[in-house]
Amino acid sequence: MSDNVPAQIVPADGEGIAAAVAALRAGALVAVPTETVYGLAARADRDESVAAIYRAKGRPDFNPLIVHVADLAGAEQLALVDARARVLADAFWPGPLTMVLPRREGAMVAAAVTAGLPTIAIRCPAHRVMRQILRESGLALAAPSANASGGVSPTCAAHVAASLGGRVGLIVDGGDCPDGIESTIIALRAEGGWQVLRPGPITADAIAAVIGQGGDAPSSNRIEAPGQMTSHYAPGKPVRLNALTADAEEFHIGFGAVAGDYCLSADGDLAQAAAHLYAALHAAAASGRARVAVAPVPDAGIGAAINDRLRRAAA
Ligand code: AMP
Ligand code: MG
């Protein structure tokens, strides 16, 4: 794919979805809406297609990809789904929960998807458009966030076009992503414990309510997996956290009573703040200000995921 042909943005209607399905089947990259963020999708079973994802993002090849499936049966073709995983799938799929499971021997996935790990990360997304694409294509789709590696994740089609430009041929425009923050990633340990590798919309408490406590301390700050990089989601300027006020050189991202230049949620609603987080970081990046300051955000519920992303944006 040439770098200077601008991506075609198509609406998420029958025709747009059919174009996406045809392109994906042919092995091309397509940016697709999900409930979390926009994904840069390719068929997971083809080496060249998966290689094209890494190339378009400039993503290091030791950072494995999440594979998206239409349903539990799709997951079972690729991974060993034990009783706990089944209970979690029952509770949270389709939805923003990614499970790291033992890879099934002979699974039809390109080696680069798992970056040489014996495990595979799998998710069954809830977004209507992504679900239709998965169903109609009959494919499992590798789909990391549709942005240049290390940058701010995209929550609308325009963000994708700005970040990947001509490196993706087709963008399916499904509007704003409702959750706005990447999926929770959980590792289920063979010995019975579990750990959150990346906090997200499904909280550790919600998971514990279904399968019991994990045993180990929550590990959101520990580098557990390749790709849980310290610096990520970066707007390309210095970011200062817990800022109740900002100076003239700072773009101030507010929360609750702190209005700032862009308020994540004036009502102090954390789900709304998550949905607005990346749009705020994109606005901060595009602004004329040299630096970014962010108001404190409580750590409760999905606030843990927001603060995880903010810490990495500031690192
Ligand atoms: P992204 O696709 O950008 O949302 O990132 C996917 C995340 O999933 C990365 O941070 C990886 O570290 C993580 N991941 C993917 N596959 C595995 C795996 N097999 N084991 C642990 N983490 C994984
Ligand atoms: Mg990403």
* 264 touches ligand 1 (CB under 6 Å): no
The model carries a pTM of: 0.93
Q: What is the pLDDT of residue 144?
A: 97
Residue of the CA atom closest to atom 3 of ligand 1: 144
Q: Determine the average pLDDT of the residues in 127-132.
A: 98
> pLDDT tens digit string along 218-238?
444 444 555 567 788 889 999
The ligand 1 atom at the shortest distance from the C-alpha of residue 120 is 19
- Judge contact between 58 and 175, C-beta under 8 A: no
Looking up tokens 């092995």 gives: 27
> pLDDT tens digit string along 252-281?
999 999 999 999 999 999 999 999 999 999
Q: What is the pLDDT of residue 226?
A: 52
Q: Which ligand is nearest to the CA of 232?
A: 2
Strand extents, DSSP E, 38-158 = 39-43, 66-68, 97-102, 119-123, 141-142
Average pLDDT, the chain: 93
Q: What is the pLDDT of residue 218?
A: 47
User: How far is ligand 2, taken at its centre, from the CA of residue 154, in Å?
Assistant: 9
Q: Determine the average pLDDT of the residues in 95-105.
A: 96
At residue 87, does pLDDT exceed 50?
A: yes
Q: Where are the domains of the chain?
A: 8-216, 239-314
Q: What is the pLDDT of residue 220?
A: 42
Alpha-carbon gap, residue 305 to 294, rounded angstroms? 15
Distances (CA, A) of 272 to 35, 37, 178: 13, 14, 9
Residue of higher predicted confidence among 40 and 7: 40
Residue of higher predicted confidence among 217 and 187: 187
Superfamily (CATH) of domain 8-216: DHBP synthase (3.90.870.10)
Alpha-carbon gap, residue 310 to 276, rounded angstroms? 13
